[in-house]
Amino acid sequence: MELFPLLLPVDTTFRDYKGFILFQGKQYPVEIGISSIRESIEDYLHHFFYELKDILDRIQPTRSSTSNNNNNDGYDKNQSMLQNNNSLPFEVYALVLNEIDQLGWGNVVEIDKSLSTFSISLRDAKRREVLMRFIIPNDYPTAPPTIRANLPSLLTPSTHHHNNNNNDNTTAAKGGSVTPSMGHSLRTSVAAVERQVEQLQPFFDAMEEIDRMTWVLEPEHPQRSDTARRIALGNNCSLSIDVNPLSPLTFPDCRFLGPERAVAPLRQKLNSNLSKWRPLDPSLLGNFQALLEMEFPVKQVSNISDFIIECSICYSHRLGGDGTIPDIICNNARCQKQFHHSCLFEWLRSLPNVNHSFDTLFGSCPYCSDPISVKGHLK
């Protein structure tokens, strides 16, 4: 492909190409589709070039005479064609193509024909994957690319320079977009993410152990950016934790979910053993099991019926829109019906005798009529 350094294969079949060719100082955006090949790709494109050269030779005088009326006519037409095809300008396309070459095409997992959006895969020391997605503007690198990475909150990379030390800044959006500084490059973006991935190794280790050794109820499919877990404890109880990715071994925000009569002993045991928390212990899970003096259930060896509880209003386990599971339980020991938060909220607000105080609705359980409440704002 030395003859066409700016032609890019669209997929792994190497039958469709998009990019630019240079001819007599002009830049021509082209798309090539090859139906069948009886010779090498290089030979095919070599023949294509000379056929295209013959066509351009015939139309070149017309273009030259037209350019007498407008010195920028040829370039402007190219620019218009690029815009109509949602392509990057030639200079930007060439720059991005060169930068991707430097990063290595083996790291590219997704790319569009115009090079304006693409994703690359990074691997940490334990071969765990982190994905970066780039969105390239037409005036790159004067204007920065938008970068998204599946990292926790406060750790999506930026390369704003401050204090004259060229330190990396961070954003506050989980997997959110970033606006790097002028003169930014793909390589510096990748380097910033790699440094943060290295910093996140203890967090990844702690969350990976929880995902492997417990029954995680939420999220259903944990991502690298997820800092929260809801862990099944049995007896209709679960533990919800939210881990600080910058300090994953410190005691996290946590709360118990379940009927009060079952949750109260667990809460009391946790509080009484809190002084036993070992902040240098690399096992977040081990610390919790020591404080609660219990082994957490493992999904592979537990009875699924102990944890898959249907909402007693909509009769489904996971709510369609957001995938949440029932998290409110009637405290009546003879009832213990479970409800999705939103289902119970809508049920209570439809009743004429429900009481509303600040952001909480107070009413009766749909099954046993015992008092029950749910937080939410009335519209």
Spatial contact of 4 and 45, defined as CB atoms under 8 Å apart: yes
On whether residue 29 sits in a domain, the answer given is: yes
On whether residue 339 sits in a domain, the answer given is: yes
52 and 77 in a single domain? The answer is yes
On whether residue 124 sits in a domain, the answer given is: yes
14 and 81 in a single domain? The answer is yes
pLDDT at 279 over 50: yes
Answer with the one of 302, 336, 351 that is the final residue of a domain. Answer: 302
On whether residue 92 sits in a domain, the answer given is: no
287 and 209 in a single domain? The answer is yes
- Domain count across the chain: 4
194 and 111 in a single domain? The answer is yes
Answer with the one of 285, 302, 319 that is the final residue of a domain. Answer: 302
170 and 216 in a single domain? The answer is no
CATH number at residue 232: 3.10.110.20
**Highest mean pLDDT: which range of 18-27, 95-104, 202-211:** 202-211
Structure tokens at 115: 């090079």
Confidence of residue 332 (pLDDT cuts 50, 70, 90): confident
Least confidently predicted of 172-186, 202-216, 327-341 = 172-186
Answer with the one of 302, 319, 343 that is the final residue of a domain. Answer: 302
Q: What is the pLDDT of residue 287?
A: 95
| SS3 assignment, position 349 | helix
Buried b (16+ CB within 10 A) or exposed e, 76-99: eebbeebeeeebbbbebbbbbbeb
Q: Which helix (H) or strand (E) holds 171?
A: none
Confidence of residue 47 (pLDDT cuts 50, 70, 90): low
pLDDT at 166 over 50: no
Burial class (CB in 10 A: 0-12, 13-18, 19+), 188: middle
Spatial contact of 361 and 353, defined as CB atoms under 8 Å apart: no
Host domain of residue 366: 309-375
On whether residue 2 sits in a domain, the answer given is: no
pLDDT at 253 over 90: yes
| SS3 assignment, position 80 | helix
Q: How far apart (Å, rounded) are the C-alpha atoms in residues 88 and 101?
A: 17
Least confidently predicted of 214-228, 234-248, 296-310 = 296-310
